[in-house]
Structures are given as C-alpha cells and as structure tokens.
Structure 1
Amino acid sequence: MPPGLTSTLAAIGVGTDSTLLDEVVRAVGGSWSELNHLRRTADSTVDVSEMTDDEVRAALATQLQDPQTDVTVAWPADRVAAKMTVSQLLTAIDDLWYPAMDDVVIVQAESAGTTVVVLDHEEQLTATRLTA
C-alpha cells in the first residue's frame, strides 16, 4: 500500500468501501487469480518503467478517456478499493501507485463493456476490454 493511502484518498475526497473490492473481483472474473489471465491476454500493454509521472498519467488517460467518468480502483494486496473519477485518479496517481511496490486495478464500466486496467509492481500497464 502506498504510505498514507487512506489519508491520500480522503484528501482527494474519496473514501474506501469494502463492497467495491467485491465489485472489482467480479469484474476480473470472480477471483484475483483471473487477473493474471487478463494481463496475459490484454488488448494493450505498455512498459511504464522509464516514464515520468506525466507520461504515466498520459498512458492511463489514453486507456480511461473521459476524465469525468467514475472508475473503481483497487489495491488487491491491501484489500482496499475506492470509487473516484478518472480525473481524481490521474491527478493523484503518483500518491496512489508506487512503482515496484504496488498493483493497482482500475475498472471502468460502460454500456459497451468493462475496461480493466492494471498498473502493476513490475511497472507494466495493461488494458483489457471486456464486452457486455
């Protein structure tokens, strides 16, 4: 968990909710073990290991698009999840994800389907689009 994750979330006006973690697990296939399959079969994979914070934001923005859309963000190892806008996530990503330490799973549900974006501790950004 990033140091001070819950206080960082509170500072951007976001609270945690244990039911959101269950939503993320369902979105990735019902089990965290399914997340590995999603990452291996991702529609897009980007190595962010050499990127600046601004470049990571841009890579995320490309996958998540509308900054006012709500996303559910989870930190699986810490069993923490929160709902926020894409804009809130992008603004605070350097406080919400620590490279080489955290996995962050972002779920964006839309009428056309669900997008699962993973920013992992190996500094890989994957995006998988699941049809409705």
Structure 2
Amino acid sequence: IALPNQDHSWTVTLFMTFSKFRLLDTHENLLNFFEKYFPDSVPLIGEKKLCGDFFKAAPRPLVSVKCNPYHVGNKVLIIGDAAHAMVPFYGQGMNAGFEDCTLLNKLMDDHKENLEKVLVDFTNKRNKDAHAIC
C-alpha cells in the first residue's frame, strides 16, 4: 500500500511472507521483483531510492492481539485495541471497539450493573467474535 504524507511524499509498505523477503537480498533481486510485480512503481520511486529505502530497514511482523479473559475479577476490563488489536488495513479496529462498548452497555443493563456478572458475561460473549476478526 502507499499512503501520502503531509510533505507530499509517500510511505510505501510491502506485505508478504518473511521467506519472500529473504529472497530480496540484493539490489538486482529487489529490482527484478519490482519490475515483475510493480513495474510502474520503479520509474516513480527511482531505482536508487527504492534500493536505499528497502535495505535501510528490516521487515517487521504484523501483530494482532488476542486476549482471554478480558477481565480480572470484578474490577478490571480491557476493551478495544487493548483486548483485540488487529492490523490497520482491516479497517475494523474502531468498529470492534464500538461493538465492545455496545455490548458492555447492554450487559450493564441486563445484569443491573453487577460487575462480577457483567465482566464474565462480556468475556464469554465477546471473545469468539473478536478472535474471529483478528
């Protein structure tokens, strides 16, 4: 993906397995890869900048957070990204947080604000859905 920056430059992110990244170990291999899969990008970025930027930083893993339970006793509950962070390009992080709030509000009503019941029920009801998307 390519995301614009405020200075009118671009931040380009390449997503693929680490085994494929390891094959791009030389300038020649990198340029051949980009010429094959992203031929229009090479003239736009420039070979020198592409190679310089690519080899400046090592690939990093994408991380998702999956917790269970979401509560500790009847005192603490984590919701939103603290409970189930996901990679940003899913576009669902904020939606999942809103779902957490909606469910928590409903359970507070259903259990007449009895936190012990609310928190256990929240974990039991929310965990499967949250893990499915992460």
Which TM-score bucket, shorter chain as reference? Answer: under 0.3
- TM-score, reference length from structure 1: 0.27
Compare the two structures and name the one with the higher helix fraction: 2
- TM-score, reference length from structure 2: 0.27
Q: Work out which of the two has the higher radius of gyration on C-alpha atoms and give 1 or 2.
A: 2
Q: Pick 1 or 2: higher relative contact order, CA cutoff 8 A, min separation 6.
A: 1
Compare the two structures and name the one with the higher strand fraction: 1
